[in-house]
Amino acid sequence: MVVGVLRTLSLSTAKRAQKQGAGALEVRIDLLPEEDRSITKISDFIATLHLPVIITNRKHEEGGAFTGTEEARIALLRRVLESVEVAAVDLELASPEPGKSALVATATSWQVSVIFSYHDFTGMPPQTELESIITRMFEEGASVAKLAVTPKSFGDALGLLELTHQLAREGKRIAILGMGPVGRHLRVVAPLYGSVLTYGYIEGEKPVAPGQFSVRELTSMLAKLSIT
């Protein structure tokens, strides 16, 4: 599924994303202007959307813009979950306890999928470590295990595709995203091997991750490559 990333509470931008082919929207709370980070504004906006919504409040250490305390960051996500219907919440695996477990429990009680995420903007761990990270994600309650890493060679990229294919065949829901020049093609190719999510920026907006394609580009390329 192609996910359009929203960095403003703009209904016109959301409609553009849908028109460009997005199957879901990610509301990046951390990228919203400060005056829009209220529960009321966020919830009222999400309630107007006609696509499944993922809510994310990315911390600064993993490429986001939220600079407050971890308690405040996770509490904001919990309050959104409790006030409006969303499809999924994205939370970094490295988030501290007890907030992480509390958020998973809240999501579970509202039947909201949990996307545990891991980011490496400079490289990627060895395959065995990636497998351990993914195992931990599912053990801690992930519905989807999401890895966004930066391969340095096509051999690295091939290893990610093999891992994606293996886990997908085991029935695990995994999202593999490649960043940087070498990893960029994985945003299009990994879904063919079983990656369940790929993220694009909405034309007229800026990319939010290195190597990101637009929603329109992803939709077009996936349609051309699809074998179904």
pLDDT tens-place string over residues 65-94: 998 899 999 999 999 999 999 999 999 999
Q: Give me the residue spans of the domains in the chain.
A: 2-225
* Percent share of the chain, pLDDT over 70: 99
Out of 59, 119, 165, 185, which one is annotated catalytic?
119
Please name which of 56, 62, 123, 63 lies closest in space to residue 91, comparing C-alpha atoms.
Answer: 56
Out of 15, 19, 100, 146, which one is annotated catalytic?
146
Residue 146 catalytic? yes
Least confident window among 59-73, 112-126, 141-155: 59-73
Per-residue pLDDT tens digits for 4-44: 999 999 999 999 999 999 999 999 999 999 899 999 999 99
Residue 60 catalytic? no
What is the CATH number that goes with domain 2-225?
A: 3.20.20.70
pLDDT exceeds 70 at position 109: yes
Non-local CB neighbours of 115 within 8 Å, separated by 6+ positions: 54, 88, 89, 90, 91, 142, 143, 144, 146, 175, 197
